[in-house]
Structure 1
Amino acid sequence: MKQNPGSVRKKILIIENDQDIRNIIDFILEEQGFTTLSIPEPQDLDEIIPFKPDLILLDEFINDRPGHRLCKKIKQIGVLKNTPVIILSTANDIELIAAECNANDYISKPFNVPDMVDKVIRLVNHLPLAY
C-alpha cells in the first residue's frame, strides 16, 4: 500500500539518534511518497512545530533519555497533541511504554519494513490498525 499519488504529501517526523536507522527509515518513507524530516533529537519542541508533521516516529532511547517523556510532552502541546506518534524501540516492554505515554502505536526493532510502512500509512490516513 503506497501513499495516494494524487494527494498532498504527508509529512513524517523521524526522531532517532542512530543515524543509520534514521537514514533507512527516511529513504523508505520518501520512496513511499512521504515528505520526511529526520533529526537525532529536538533541542526544543518549538523547532518541530513549523514542520507540521502528520505523524512522528520516535525512538525510545534518545541519547540516554527516554523517548516516552518526549511523547508525553508532544501529546500536551496544542498543535501537536493530535499528531499520531509511533514509538520505536528494542525494549521488551515497548507495548507498555507506548501505552503509558499515549503513543498511537509502537514498532519493535529490528522492524519489518512492510509492517512499518503499513502502520505509518494507516495512521496518517486515520485508518484502523491491522493487528
Structure 2
Amino acid sequence: MTVFNALNIFVNIWNPTTIRNKSLFKVGHHTWVIAAVNGLTKIINSLYISPIDIQLFFSLYLQNILVIMTKKVVLVQDNEAILDIMDQVLKEEGFDVTSSLTTEPIEKIDEIEPDVVIVDDYIKGNKKGSEVIEELKSVPETEDISAVLTSTAHDLPEKAKECKADDYIEKPFDIDHMIEVVKKNS
C-alpha cells in the first residue's frame, strides 16, 4: 500500500494549523506533522511522500471539500423568466439552488436546509412573500435562515424590515448586486 493510498483511506477531515513552520493535518483519527525536507515531505511516522503525490491528494479532496462548502439557496419567484435567470446565475456562482414558482420548497425547508431563502413578494399562492418570510423568522427552527425579499414595489425596504427579512433585492435587479446580496447572506 502506498502512502497516497493510506492517506486516501484515513482522510475524513483535515484542519491545517501552523506549528513552528510546520503544517499539522488532522486526518481521521491520526495526526501527522508534515515538513518539507530536500524536495520530499517527511511524515512523522517515517513514511515519505513526494510533493507531487501531496498535490494530487489535495486536488482529489478539494472537490469533496467544495461540495461540503456549497451554500444552498431556495429561490421562489413569481415570473418564470426571472426565476430561470436567477437560478442559472446562482448555479454558475456555485450555489446549490432549489427554485420554484410556488412555495413548495418552503414547505420542505427542513429537508432542504438552505443557507438563504429568496422570495418574491408577489408569489403565486395564498400568501405574499413577506408573509412567508415573517413565518420563517417566527419559528425557532428556521429563524436563523437568511431571508431575502424581492419585489418591484417602491416600498420594498420598509416591507423587508417589517417582515424581518435579512436583505432585499429590488427588481429590475443588477446581476452583480444580486450575487453580492446572496453571498453576503449565505
Gaps of 5+ in 1: 125-131
Secondary structure at the aligned position of 1:116 is classed as helix
CA distance in 1, matches of 2:105, 2:172: 28
User: Within 2, Cα distance between the matches of 1:115 and 1:45?
Assistant: 24
Asked if 1 retains the 8 angstrom alpha-carbon contact of 2:74 and 2:105, the reply is no
Aligned equivalent of 2:90: 29
Pick the aligned partner of 2:180 from 98, 115, 118.
118
Q: Which residue of 2 aligns with 1:48?
A: 109
Please name the residue that 2:140 is paired with: 78
Distance of 2:136 and 2:151 partners within structure 1: 18
More strand by share: 2
How far 1:122 moved relative to its partner?
Answer: 1.2
Tell me how far 1:43 sits from its aligned partner. 4.5
Letter in 2 for 1:109: K
Which deviates more, 64-73 or 104-113?
Answer: 64-73
Contact preservation (8 Å) 2:147, 2:167: yes
Equivalent in the alignment of 1:58: 119
1:14 aligned residue: 75
Give me the whole-angstrom Cα distance separating, in 2, the residues matched to 1:44 and 1:38: 8
Distance in 2, matches of 1:31 and 1:78, equals 32
- Is this contact kept in 1: 2:149–2:168, CA < 8 A? yes
The residue aligned with 2:150 is 88
In 1: Cα distance, 2:158 partner to 2:149 partner: 11
The Cα shift of 1:17 comes to 2.1
**Identity, % of aligned positions:** 28
Q: Is the 8 A contact 1:42 1:48 kept in 2?
A: no
Would you tell me which structure has more helix in proportion to its own residues?
2
Asked if 1 retains the 8 angstrom alpha-carbon contact of 2:98 and 2:105, the reply is no
Per-residue CA deviations over 1:39-73 (Å, capped at 9, x if unaligned) read 11225843232100100111010127421111111
| Larger gyration radius, structure 1 or structure 2 | 2
Q: Could you say what secondary structure the match of 2:97 adopts?
A: strand
Q: Give the TM-score taking structure 1 as reference length.
A: 0.84
1:21: how far off? 0.8
With the length of structure 2 as denominator, give the TM-score of the two structures.
Answer: 0.60
**Per-residue displacement from partner, 1:52-99 (whole Å, max 9, x unpaired)?**
010011101012742111111111223211011110000000000000
Change (3 A) 1:45 1:120: closer
Contact 2:90–2:179 (CA under 8 A) maintained in structure 1:
yes
| Count of aligned pairs | 120
